Structure 1
Amino acid sequence: MTYVFSDITISIDGFAAGLGQTAQKPFGDGPVQELHRWMFEEPESNAAEIAAVATAEAFVMGRNMFGPDRGELDPNWAGWWGPNPPYHGPVFVLSHHKREPLVMDGGTTFTFVNEGIDAALEQAKAAAGPEGRVSIAGGASTVNQYLRAGSIDELRTHIAPVILGEGERLLLDVPARTVSIVSARASALATHITYRIS
C-alpha cells in the first residue's frame, strides 16, 4: 500500500511561512530565513532528516509552493528551484488553473491538477506504485487539507527556534485526534518530531 508522509518546517508557534509571499520573498515577511537554517547551515548534524525528505517516488504540492503568482499560471514560471529541482520525480501541483506539464532536469515533471486534492493524491499514488511513497510537500495549507481528509500516514515536523507571530499555520482547522510519536531528536537549529497519524 502506498505510504503518504509530509515533511514540513515550522516555527515554534506553528507557522510554515510568513505573510506577504512574493517572487522576491518566497517565505513571506518576518524572520522566515530562520526556518530552514537547519538544512543549510548544519547539513551534517541533520543529514538523516534531510535525506528522508527526498525518499518519495512522487510528490504533491500546493500552488503557492510552486510559485508566487495568483490567478492564471504564468507559463514562463518554472518554480523556485532553478532548472534542476530537488524532487527528481513526478510532482503534482494543486491548481484551479490549467497549464501543460513542465518537464525539468533531473527527472522532475510538474503536472498541474485542477480536480482537487483527491485527484492529485490518486495520480501521485499511481506514479509511486503500490509499494511506493508519496510526499505531501507543502505548503501548510496543502498539508492541512490532507490532514483534514485523513490521507497522511506520517507527519514529520522540523521545529525551528523562531517565533513568526503570523503567517501560514500548520494544523489549522484539523480535527482533534490522538497521534503517536515515532521519533524525536533535537539539533542546535531544529527539533525533529515524527508523528504517526493513521
Structure 2
Amino acid sequence: MPKLRVHNLAISLDGYVAGPNQGPDNPLGEGGTRLHEWVFATPYANPEATNDPGVDDEHLAAGDRGIGATIMGRNMFGPIRGAWPNHEWTGWWGDNPPYHHDVFVLTHHPRPSFGMEGGTTFHFVDETPEAVLHRAFDAANGQDVRLGGGCSTVRQFLRTRLVDELHLAVVPILLGAGERLYDDLGELPGYQVASVTHSPAVTHVTFTRSEA
C-alpha cells in the first residue's frame, strides 16, 4: 500500500528545521544553512565530494526512491506571502526542478497549475490534508508520496496521523530560534522509533506510524 513519507528533514538538537528571520535572501533563516552542510559533503548530492559513500548517502537515496508525487507548504515553494502579486515566481529551483512529477503546494491563495522542464507540474491547493493526500496518491499512480516540508506542513500532517514514515537527520548544532518541529506535538502519539543510525556528521532517526 502506498505511503506518505518524510525524508532527510534536517533538524537541530533543539528541534529547529529553519533559523529565524527567513526571507528571499535567506530562505532557511539565520544559521539554517548549517543544517544542510552534511548533504553537500556526500557523493550522492555532490559528485565533487571527497568522502566515501556511507550512511548519509543511503538515506539521501532512500528519499528519492519510489516517490511518485510530492506535497509541500507554500513557504517551501517560495518567499511570497499573502495574495500572489503575479505568477512570475516559479520556485527556488530554476527551470528544471528536481521533482519530475506532480507537486501539490498547500496555500490559502490558489493559482493555476503550471509545468516545468523535466516533468514537474506544480498544483496550488487550498484543501484539507486528507483531500490533498488523496489527490497526491492518485497522481503518484501506485508509488509513495513524499511530504517535503516546511516545518508547519509536516506538523499538520503528523497531528492528523497521515505520515507513515518520518526520517529526521539530527544535526549536532543549536539554533535557539526559528521554525521548530516539535511544537504542539506532545509526545508524538501514534508514532514509534523504528531505527537510529549515525555518521560522523548527523544522527538519522526514523519514526513509523504504529497500528494501535
- Give the TM-score of the pair, scaled to structure 1: 0.93
How do 1:12-27 residues align onto structure 2 when only pairs under 5 Å count?
12-27=13-28
Match of 2:46 in 1: none
Distance 2:153 2:109 in 1: 16
How do 1:53-68 residues align onto structure 2 when only pairs under 5 Å count?
53-55=63-65, 56-68=67-79
Aligned-pair CA distance for 1:178 = 5.4
Alpha-carbon displacement from aligned partner over 1:76-124 (angstroms, at most 9, x marks no partner):
1111111111111111000011211121111111100012322211110
Equivalent AA in structure 1 for residue 206 of structure 2: T
Alpha-carbon displacement from aligned partner over 1:40-60 (angstroms, at most 9, x marks no partner):
123333211111122211110
Distance 2:156 2:186 in 1: 11
Aligned-pair CA distance for 1:171 = 2.5
Contact kept, 8 Å, 2:161 with 2:190, in 1: the verdict is no
1:36 partner SS: helix
Distance 1:66 1:18 in 2: 17
Distance 2:70 2:28 in 1: 20
Give me the CA root mean square deviation: 1.4
Please identify runs of 4+ aligned residues in structure 1 that moved more than 4 A: none
Alpha-carbon displacement from aligned partner over 1:136-168 (angstroms, at most 9, x marks no partner):
110110000000001001100011121110111
Match of 2:50 in 1: none
1:169 to 166, 180, 187: 180
Match of 1:79 in 2: 91
2:62 to 52, 56, 59: 52
5+ residue gaps in structure 2?
44-52
The answer to whether the aligner puts 1:145 opposite 2:156 as a matched pair is yes
Distance 1:152 1:178 in 2: 10
Equivalent AA in structure 2 for residue 53 of structure 1: G
Distance 1:91 1:172 in 2: 26
Distance 2:105 2:175 in 1: 26
Distance 2:20 2:114 in 1: 27
Equivalent AA in structure 2 for residue 58 of structure 1: A
Q: Percent identity?
A: 43
Aligned-pair CA distance for 1:186 = 0.9
Aligned-pair CA distance for 1:180 = 2.7
The answer to whether the aligner puts 1:123 opposite 2:124 as a matched pair is no
Equivalent AA in structure 2 for residue 103 of structure 1: G
Match of 1:34 in 2: 34
